[in-house]
Amino acid sequence: MTAITAQQAGGANRVAFLQMIANSEIGPALLPLTQDGYACLVGSTPSHPLTFPSYADHPNVFNAAMNSTAAGRYQLLHRWWADRVVNGKVMHGYKTMLNLPDFSPLSQDKVALQQIRECNALPYIDAGEFEHAVAACAHIWASLAGSTYGQHTNSLALLQGYYTTAGGTLA
């Protein structure tokens, strides 16, 4: 379950969509082994869960086999969490942008909602237009149907099942 409430998130469909992403990215078998995905590092499997010990900050653990620093329930890359300098200009990461104190479950939920907002998918989610919402977010999460990352993707039917099981409604 998400740390953010439906009221904080802006509705039950938003919470259900976050749960769907977690099921897609982490997987139902791995979620309970990684504090519901919030402590999950990229490369984890149910037989070999990889976790980090503290929510004080993004763990920034590089997995060479995966060429990634993805961590947490929504597999956020460190480069999007922290401030960075690009061509001499400071680019604020989500930690600064959203004024987050840590990488706690609530902070991770807030970042994922911001990413969804940036995809312009919130109106689709609120209206129960699930397929449109997934399509809008597929460039963020590699496991979503329609993603072009070249990694394993989950079918729209499976994703919709996760969403409706979590209480999401369809148009």
Catalytic amino acids?
Answer: 25
Exposure of 44 by Cβ count < 10 A (0-12 exposed, 13-18 middle, 19+ buried)?
buried
Write the DSSP string, 74-134.
Answer: TTB-HHHHS-EEETTEEE--HHHHTT-SSS-HHHHHHHHHHHHHHTT-HHHHHHT-HHHHH
- DSSP structural state of residue 158: H
